Structure 1
Amino acid sequence: MNTEKNGLNLKRVVDVFVSFLWLGCTSFGGPAAHLGYFNQTFIKRKQWASDAQYAQWVALSQIVPGPGSSQVGFALGYHRAGLLGAIAAFVAFTLPSFVVMVVLAQFGQQWLGNVFFDGVVQALKLLAVVVVADACVSMWRSFCQRKAMACMVLLSAVFLIFVPFGFANLMVLVVAAFVGFFIPASTSNTHDPLPKVRFAWCLFGLAVALFVASFIFDTGLGGVFAEFYQAGALVFGGGHVVLPMLSAFVSDRVSDANLLVGYAAAQAVPGPMFTMASFLGASAAPQGANVWLWAGVATLGVFLSGLLLMLCAQNIWQSLSENVVCQRLLASLNAAVVGILIAALYHPIATSSIVSVWDIACVAIGFIWLKYKRPSIFMLIIVFVLIGLVRSYGFWE
């Protein structure tokens, strides 16, 4: 019986790894786009979790410091296949961009100016608009069946679009939780629990201990790990916020030219934007040092605190959400999450991707195709890559 159970869990771990590796190779567009891809792949197609559970993970990723989309992927992996599944999800989703960023740090910026690479990246950004728009529509239907929740979504989105700042997402969630106290519970409201995490308090203690210890080291590999661990532990708002923070942390180790290359590359490659730490760690390696080791230490440092805190927070969230009052707050937070995604769909995803009327047409056709025909992500990517290659020949501007 145990052998059969272990075999099933191993199969799930492998499935988690392969699924996230594919997304790590193809998920362009930043954190909000990643959440759209996760929703499309793991909630709609594979049905690993419910819409309600997914919304809770997204809300937690906005409250807990660290890499938002990677935290959601980590939680999905844990939910599907335990701790090994969580580790498999993180490694697989991060590995492609880690490799690209380290190679780029070693061999310069040849790819960034390549017309075909730029054309394909631009087309995949348009795909990100399609996927996130579909996720917004799906989550709207799940969480906005009442007028109060629909108003919460719209107000959250408008606020974030017109009053953007570093802690805006966190403020929206805090206000939504407060408002939730005064909104009557829905009689049809169902609560989908999150999985309990074993040794959660031990993980929290480890996260705090590493943060305290990070102030002791300031040279060598220990110093690199310490600097990036502090950055990952102190940033709210995901990749777009961490990029300038990481630049400030290593400005004395990396030239301004390399910082600009790393900043551009982090937004151009697929996968988590936090892998700019991989680029900076490789760039900061002393002459003759193993750049892959330095990049790996920097990458582990910037991700580790957020992943540990995500599992700890999940336990606390689960305990609180069993309370009836907290379930009202949860409904309000779910609506606020939809507002956050809509705001991110507008900026930075759409504003940085749609530059012509042809782009609008591609997004509209792609959205209709996805909504009514439900093609696989693989098919969508192939079609948009071909569109990018056509675009690179200058057939439209």
Structure 2
Amino acid sequence: MKSSVDIFLAFLRLGLTSFGGPVAHLGYFREEFVHRRRWLGEPAYADLVALCQFLPGPASSQVGIALGLLRGGYAGAMAAFLGFTLPSAILLVVFGLGLATLPLDGGWLHGLKVVAVAVVAQALWGMGKTLTPDRPRATLAIAAATAATLLPSTAGQIGAILIGGVIGWAFLRVDTQLPHATLPVRTSRRTGAGLLIAYLVLLLVLPALAAASDSYAVKLFAGFYHAGALVFGGGHVILPLLQAQVVPPSWVSNDAFLAGYGAAQAVPGPLSTFAAYLGAVSTQSPAGWLGAAIALSAIFLPAFLLVMGALPFWESLRRHDGIRRAMPGINAAVVGLLLAAFYHPVWTSAILSGADFCLAAAAFLLLVFWKWPPWLVVVLSATIGGFM
């Protein structure tokens, strides 16, 4: 078992350098923990991604929590979360308190968007070769990408995974599946069931408690827990719900909300740390660092409860023959969803000119063939973007 300090430092490095949103984060995780550190294999990593695609909340953060849990137990899960989340949360709170000076419209920011294209392309390159090695699974991946592109919603994404699983179960032979290493889940099924029940109880009780309470801290916690508990995909998907939560009751002005949203695009790590900014700039009390801590804890608590509660059952379910036959189809569908996200929003928001394409291609070359570390490619791309 890895020490919590080791896990924290590994995720802190990613928390400081992982630009590009949740899809890019999954690419960073894969490179760091599957290939560089070899904490788990490609099939096991694909299993985690597939599970977190099913769960509400920020998928990339949930994968990080799961990796920390598998490597270091509950303390490892917390260490992974803190390492990956704190850099962006602190930067956004500092910005909210008026101490940030970085221009949010500089070319360096566009350079970060461009390098995200290379990061996601690298993940597609590697996962595609491993998880879609034959015509049936490659076809499934393209079909899933088509469905997710034409139906850009949570229903389209989950539907693609479900259909991929059904096709895998019905048509793919068991001997076509990828080898599987049992995940070292240390949470018992009884504990997992208790955590899932806690998730549901809080979801039902907190709104009533907030309605009956005059405490802003209770209302803040309840509102952000609700946002983290019910929205699939996290990131940009959660922003409209957050805006409806904080702007109408005048907790945060719309101008402050939009300014923070712009700042959130310029920092590494999960976009859901935008919650820390909203808690910090609130017109109510507590605000500042305490308000940020309450909002941040509330929005990520569902991710902890769901991941730690679902993992024991996931590992047990995938041992059944039907699930084993479905998993190759599910994994192929996950590759397809990554391909769809690679097109939009990653490619469409970053590649706006021939120069952008050349920079992305060069970053891909450095990552895949020259094996440069991702953080160095990120810094280089941001620097070049500042002169474009």
1:19 maps onto 2:19 in alignment: no
Inter-partner Cα distance in structure 1 for 2:382 and 2:91: 18
Q: Helix, strand or coil: the match of 1:122?
A: helix
1:49 aligns with 2:49: no
Question: Secondary structure in 2 aligned to 1:261?
Answer: helix
Classify the secondary structure of the residue corresponding to 1:360: helix
Q: What is the match of residue 264 of structure 2?
A: 266
Q: Post-superposition shift, 1:27?
A: 1.0
**Offset of residue 140 of structure 1:** 0.7
Write the mapping of 1:142-221 to structure 2, written as runs, cut at 5 A.
142-189=130-177, 190-196=179-185, 197-198=187-188, 199-215=191-207, 216-218=209-211, 219-221=215-217
What's the offset of the Cα at 1:155? 0.8
Contact persistence 2:114–2:360 (CA under 8 A) = yes
Candidates 52, 55, 59, aligned match of 1:64: 55
Partner of 1:332: helix, strand, or coil? helix
Tell me whether 1:38 sits opposite 2:29 in the alignment: yes
Identity of aligned pairs, percent? Answer: 38
Output the CA distance in 1 between the equivalents of 2:108 and 2:11: 21
Native 8 Å contact 2:166 2:326 kept in 1: yes
Give CA-to-partner distance per residue, 1:137-157, whole Å, 9 cap, x none: 111111112211111100111
Q: Which residue number in structure 2 is paired with residue 3 of structure 1?
A: none
Alignment of 1:124-135 (within 5 A): 124-135=112-123
Contact preservation (8 Å) 1:109, 1:261:
no
Distance 2:254 2:101 in 1: 18
Task: Name the TM-score, length of structure 2 as normaliser.
Answer: 0.93
Q: Give the 4+ runs in structure 1 shifted more than 4 A.
A: none
Q: Does 1:242 align with 2:271?
A: no
Q: Is the 8 A contact 2:252 2:283 kept in 1?
A: no
Q: Structure 2: any 5+ residue segments left out of the alignment?
A: none
Q: Name the CA distance, whole Å, in 1 between partners of 2:22 and 2:36.
A: 20
Match of 2:94 among 103, 118, 136: 103
* Whole-angstrom CA distance in 1 between matches of 2:99 and 2:12: 25
Whole-Å separation in 2 of the counterparts to 1:245 and 1:16: 32
Output the amino acid matched with 2:308.
L
- Aligned residue pair count: 378
- For residues 46 and 302 of structure 1, what CA distance do their matches in structure 2 show? 29
SS at 2:117 equivalent: helix
Q: Distance in 1 between matches of 2:255 and 2:283?
A: 16
Name which of 277, 281, 284 aligns with 1:279.
Answer: 277
How far does residue 97 in structure 1 lie from its aligned partner after superposition?
0.9
CA deviations on 1:216-243 (whole Å, 9 max, x unpaired) are: 1243111100000011111012211101
TM-score by length of 1: 0.91
Distance 1:110 1:166 in 2: 36
Name which of 207, 221, 240 aligns with 1:225.
221
Q: Give the match for residue 380 of structure 2.
A: 383
Q: 1:108-127 alignment to 2 at 5 Å? A: 110-113=101-104, 118-127=106-115
Quote the offset at 1:383 in angstroms: 2.1
Q: Secondary structure at the match of 1:340?
A: helix
1:226-262 residue CA offsets vs partner (Å, 9 max, x unmatched): 0000111110122111011111111222111011112
Query: Which 10-residue stretch deviates more, 369-378 or 269-278?
Result: 369-378
What secondary structure does 1:194 align onto?
coil
Aligned equivalents of 1:316 and 1:144: distance in 2? 26
Conserved in 1, the CA contact under 8 Å of 2:148 and 2:156? yes
Task: Give the AA of the match of 1:207.
Answer: Y
